[in-house]
A and B are shown apart, each in its own frame.
Chain A
Amino acid sequence: MNDVLIADARPKAIRRDIEAILFASGAPLSIEDILRALSLQDPGDRDVVDDVMRSLAEEFAPRGERGFELVRLAGGWAFRTNPLCENAVSALFELPEDASRLSPAAMETLAIVAYLQPVSRPQIAEIRGVNSDSPLHKLIEREFITEVGRSQAAGGAVLYGTTPRFEAMFGLSGLDELPDLEGFALTEPQKDELRRRLGMLSVPE
């Protein structure tokens, strides 16, 4: 009987501890962070934590009944307020700036950096066909991208990559959650239409 009670109490204690550290943390916590914080080192402990996270994610589901939600962001788990409570929260607190208000040029530049990182300024300009210094500066200012190194090629151009803030502000659990880029390629009919517009195909009668 005692063994049953002990077995039942342990996940509850772990769950309570996890709730506490997620609450205390200002940044998303990875499963490794949680395992380390709770000194869980047994091989089976990861499964226990995974179960607890699933249970918490159900209880604090996105846009659910609770005032805050548990979300996977930037490679970890984090509590954040439920967007359905935006009016109440914004009455007292300044909400972070809306990333969706980036200019189209900045959003395209961000997409290029997100998919091709580490990527240099000339590579971005090559794809966009225009100088992209201004949108790059805006993205750096807003901490969506940052310098991540220098190109080994001649010139040693600065290379850019995205930041955890980018993932958080765009609701991404990690870069692997970005949709497959090839899924956005033009279809053959669309390509033919483009060729036609550029005078490379004769106009169908």
Chain B
Amino acid sequence: MVLKEEIDLLEVPLLDVILAYLEASDESGAAEYWDEMTEFLILMSLLVEVKSRLLLPEAYPQLETEMTPEEARDQLLSRLFEYSKFRSVAIRLRERAENAAGALLRPPAAEPMRRLPALDDIAGTEDVMELHDCLVRRMANKREPDTGHISQIKVELRHQISIIRRVLAKKGRLSFNNIFGGEEPLVQALSLFALLELVTRGEVRVSQPRPFGDIVVSAQATRETA
């Protein structure tokens, strides 16, 4: 504030400065930045303290651990000298950003992955970033495991029912083992469910002469008649 508003700390009423700052903030829209307003409050409180110490030194009996007004001023001055450099260079940075604005760095149509270095090339590296980079890319390039060797079984209850009906329509009876004995266990199980479904509906008659033996299936007479 001392730099920007050219305040003579001893002469200018701080209230005027506060009002002027608030007015300028409203106009520029800076009042919407909470951090700006907070900083303003802190800076003003610092200036109030420094000014009151300058104006009323006897009102501030010096404690051993406290800075003298002169020391406080020196510290503030030193900080302002240092801070002013960054404030000025920030203005230069903003100009650079304005000049760079409006340009678009061409993003590739499809993000090309850089070729990974051979593992042998980075073996023993102590560069953490290199290892991290390599690991991230490896993970990004992780391929789904090849499951081509696993055959996919597609079986539906409705389809198994239709198979049983078709054989029965043609031959009148069937041997479960002859029709489904060579199938995968899952297909056999579903075929058994299909058979039970047909029994429930009264379409077929089943007989199993011995436990775990073959199941003989024949069409129900009523169904045949119908």
- A interface residues with partner B (beta carbon < 8 Å): 23-26, 68-69, 73, 78-83, 86, 89-90, 93, 95-96, 98-100, 102-105, 107-108, 110-112, 114-115, 126-131, 134-135, 168-172, 178-179, 181-182, 184-186, 191, 194-200
Which residues of B come within 8 Å of A, CB atoms?
2-3, 6-10, 30, 33-36, 38-39, 42-43, 46, 50, 54, 73, 76-77, 79-108, 111-112
Q: Which of B85, B99, B102, B107 gathers the greatest number of chain A CB atoms within 10 Å?
A: B102
Distance of A81 Cα from B112 Cα, bound (Å): 20
Q: How far is the CB of B87 from chain A (nearest CB, A)?
A: 6
A176 to B211, CA, bound (A): 89
A198 & B73 in contact (Cβ 8 Å cutoff): yes
Q: In the complex the two chains form, is B87's CB within 8 Å of A26's CB?
A: no
- Leading 6 A-B pairs by shortest Cβ distance: A171-B100, A86-B102, A100-B97, A134-B35, A83-B102, A99-B97
Residues of A within 8 A of B10 (CB): 199
| Chain B residue at minimal CB-CB distance from A114 | B93
8 more CB-based (< 8 A) A-B contacts, given A68-B106, A181-B89:
A26-B112, A80-B106, A81-B104, A100-B97, A108-B86, A134-B34, A197-B6, A198-B77
A131 to B36, CA, bound (A): 11
Query: Complex Cα distance A81/B106, Å?
Result: 7
A93–B103 alpha-carbon span in the complex (Å): 11
Q: Which residue of B lies closest to A136 (CB)?
A: B35
Q: Which of B30, B94, B103, B111 contacts A82 (CB 8 A)?
A: B103
CB pair A115 B35 closer than 8 Å: no
CB nearest neighbor in B for A178: B89
Give A168 to B106 CA distance when docked, in angstroms: 12
CB-CB under 8 A for A129 and B81, given A82-B103, A83-B101: no
Q: How far is the CA of A104 from the CA of B4 in the complex (A)?
A: 13
- How many angstroms from the CA of A37 to the CA of B46 in the assembled complex? 58
Residues of chain A contacted by B7 (CB below 8 angstroms) = 197
Q: How far is the CA of A100 from the CA of B90 in the complex (A)?
A: 10
Q: List 29 A-B contacts (CB under 8 A).
A: A26-B106, A26-B111, A69-B103, A82-B103, A83-B99, A90-B102, A93-B104, A96-B104, A96-B105, A100-B95, A102-B94, A102-B97, A105-B39, A108-B86, A115-B86, A115-B89, A129-B42, A130-B38, A134-B38, A170-B96, A170-B100, A178-B89, A179-B89, A184-B88, A186-B81, A194-B77, A195-B77, A197-B9, A200-B73
By a CB distance below 8 angstroms, the chain A residues around B99 are 83, 171
Instruction: Tell me the complex Cα distance, A103–B83, Å.
Output: 16
B103 pairs with A181, CB closer than 8 A: no
> For B101, what are the chain A residues with a Cβ–Cβ distance below 8 Å?
83, 95, 98-100
Given A86-B102, A169-B97, A170-B96, residue A199 in contact with residue B86 (CB < 8 A) = no
Q: Verify B39–A127 contact, CB threshold 8 A.
A: no
Q: Which residue of the partner chain, among B6, B79, B105, B108, contacts A168 with CB atoms under 8 Å?
A: B105
Residue pair B96, A172 in contact (C-beta under 8 Å): yes
Report how far A122 CA is from B90 CA in the complex, Å.
19
- Asked if residues B108 and A24 are in contact (CB atoms below 8 Å), the reply is yes
Name the distance in Å between A121's Cβ and chain B's nearest Cβ. 14
A134 to B38 CA separation, bound complex (whole angstroms) = 10
Contacts A86-B102, A93-B104, A181-B89 given: A186-B96 contact, CB under 8 Å? Answer: no
CB–CB B36/A104 < 8 A: yes
Bound Cα distance A129, B76 (Å): 9
Cβ contacts under 8 Å, B50 to chain A = 198
Given known contacts A111-B86, A129-B43, A169-B97, is B104 in contact with A103 (CB within 8 Å)? Answer: no
A200 to B79, Cβ gap below 8 A?
no
**A76 CA / B96 CA spacing, docked (Å):** 18
Cα–Cα distance between A129 and B195 once the two chains are bound (Å): 85
Tell me which residues across on chain A come within 8 A of B82, comparing CB atoms.
127
List the A residue with the shortest CB-CB distance to B10.
Answer: A199
